[in-house]
Amino acid sequence: MRKKIYLTIDDSPSSSFRKNLDYLIAHKIPAVFFCIGSLMEAHWSDILFAIEQGYHIGNHSYSHPHFSDLELKTAKNEIERTDSLIETAYREAGVADYDRLFRFPYGDKGDGKYGYQFMEFKKANQLRQGRFQKLMNKVQLIHPLHRFIDGKQEEIGRERAQAIQQYLFKLGYVRGDLKGVEYDFFHSLETDQDWSWSFDIAEWQWNEKQNKDKFLKEIVERLDNENPSDFRGDVLEKTGMQQKDKIDLVLFHDRDATNNFFIPILEHLRKIEVDFLPIEYDQIKMDK
């Protein structure tokens, strides 16, 4: 049995966007590009070419911030600026009808959990604090009101996240209910208007201190793993390339920092006989 996936690519367009796009075209690999507005402006002709070739251009904010760090007005502006650019790009490319697709940078919905979607708020907040966790725990013991502050932060985050979803709804964004992606944890997110994912290739972990060959080997091992980890928290269901009976919505990246791995990773996916599905989903149109 061949593994089937939908490919989505974040952080485009990089300086290697056209090279990466040419590879996808040559091998007939469909994908959604979730694009950063500020980068779109720098690579405008390449974005138009991608649209002309039938690729979907989605909204990945204007400057790629953590939405949990933003006031609501700023969050809306991040969405709207790139929305306007995408609308202009489709018009200039001669495409009259297109779907509005949005993915949050880092998977951070603005709820204060910073993308750790399958964790309790407090645990996610502590993980975000990282090396300050022990200090914050001491503060909580000394000052019982810190519990209230945590609760207040959670309430603020929840209200902000709901308001952002309502704004996406108002602009006409459609959610990623991709046909055949049947994970329970994935469907738990489908009431929102943004696109999540079911499997993360995780090449974004690369840093310049690592050996390139060793890192690529680690990514290949992740692709060959029967139960790879999910960075958003504990997910009980097995996902990934070795779950042949399931279709995955895959998160990949087009970034200057990791583009050395773009084609080698896709080459490995083709080697293990992965089928790349055209982007077809239950379109839930929203009136503005």
Chain segment 233-258, per-residue pLDDT in tens:
989 999 999 999 999 999 999 999 99
pLDDT of residue 85 exceeding 50: yes
Contacts of 176 (CB under 8 A, 6+ apart): 101, 190, 194, 195, 196, 249, 281
Q: What secondary structure does DSSP assign to 236-249, as a single string?
A: -S--STT-TTSEEE
DSSP symbol at 181: -
pLDDT of residue 135: 40
Read off the CATH number of the domain in which 227 is found.
Answer: 3.20.20.370
For 14-45, the pLDDT digits (tens) are 999 999 999 999 999 999 999 999 999 999 99
- Please give the average per-residue pLDDT across 108-114, as a whole number: 95
> pLDDT, tens digit, for every residue of 135-182?
444 444 444 444 445 678 899 999 999 999 999 999 999 986 788 899
Longest alpha-carbon distance in the chain: 63
Give residues with Cβ within 8 angstroms of 281, minimum separation 6: 174, 176, 177, 178, 179
Is 75 within a domain? yes
* 168 falls within a domain: yes
Look at residue 281 and tell me if it is in a domain.
Answer: no
How many structural domains comprise the chain? 1
Higher pLDDT, 135 or 60: 60
Position 285 in a domain: no
What is the spatial distance between Cα 192 and Cα 246, in angstroms, rounded to a whole number? 22
Q: What is the pLDDT of residue 149?
A: 52
CB 186 within 8 A of CB 239: no
The pLDDT assigned to 146 comes to 43
In a domain, 283, yes or no: no
- Helix and strand numbers (H, E) in the chain are 10, 6
- As a 3-state breakdown, the chain gives helix, strand, coil percent values, each rounded to 5, of 45, 15, 40
Q: Which amino acid is at 120?
A: E
Share of the chain above pLDDT 70, in %: 89
Whether 282 maps to a domain, the answer reads no
* pLDDT given at position 69: 93
pLDDT at residue 228 greater than cutoff 60: yes
What is the extent of the structural domain holding 50? 3-276
3-state secondary structure of 38: helix
Contacts of 14 (CB under 8 A, 6+ apart): 20, 39, 254, 255, 256, 259
Helix (H, G, I), strand (E, B), or coil: what is residue 269?
helix
pLDDT at 139: 43
Residue 124 has pLDDT above 60, yes or no: yes
Bridge partners, residue 33, by sequence:
9, 57
Q: Is residue 286 part of a domain?
A: no
On whether residue 22 sits in a domain, the answer given is: yes
pTM recorded for the entire structure: 0.90
Average pLDDT, the chain: 90
